[in-house]
Amino acid sequence: MSFRVSQAVAGQIENLDDPLTRMIDKSAVALTKGVLTNLNSTNHNYEICPTNGKKPFALCVRDAAAADLKFEGLEAPFYGYVTTTTTLDPGDYVKPSTTVAGQVERFVIGTSTEDQRVGQYRGRATHIVRDHAGKYTTGQAAIGAVVLVRFL
């Protein structure tokens, strides 16, 4: 059995179900690849997801200047990489970070609300992949790690 080590970056997507990016309307703010965004219900444009952000969410997959009217992104369902501000255990669900806008943290059942659930933690960006099966090792992710999330 052979293994290879992979190093993904925030904003990278996994081509598991042939996700197609699209151009999404955005607010007049610069976006960087890998930032979590959500829909502003007032102006109906996506923006960097605030610390109290709610669905719907999208992932920015290419930098966009403040002057740009749209950004290249993906909306659920898909697999993509984002940065976490808390440790994550295998299978944890994630929500917008309460400390860093545009990042994620552990979703706490009973404390977090369903409209905050972004997706499920699937693995670290630095992982070992079984070439023949494409399976990821899934261990605990540290604060500040880039993690693979199945966006819901």
For 60-91, letters b (16+ CB in 10 Å) and e give bbeebeeeeeebbbbbbebbbbbbbbbebeee
Q: What is the pTM of this model?
A: 0.86
Tens-binned pLDDT, residue by residue, of the chain (152 aa)? 333 445 677 877 776 555 678 999 999 999 999 999 999 999 999 999 999 999 999 999 999 999 999 999 999 888 899 999 999 998 899 999 999 999 999 999 999 999 999 999 988 776 545 445 555 556 788 899 999 899 99
- Note down the domain range covering 34: 3-151
Number of domains the chain contains: 1
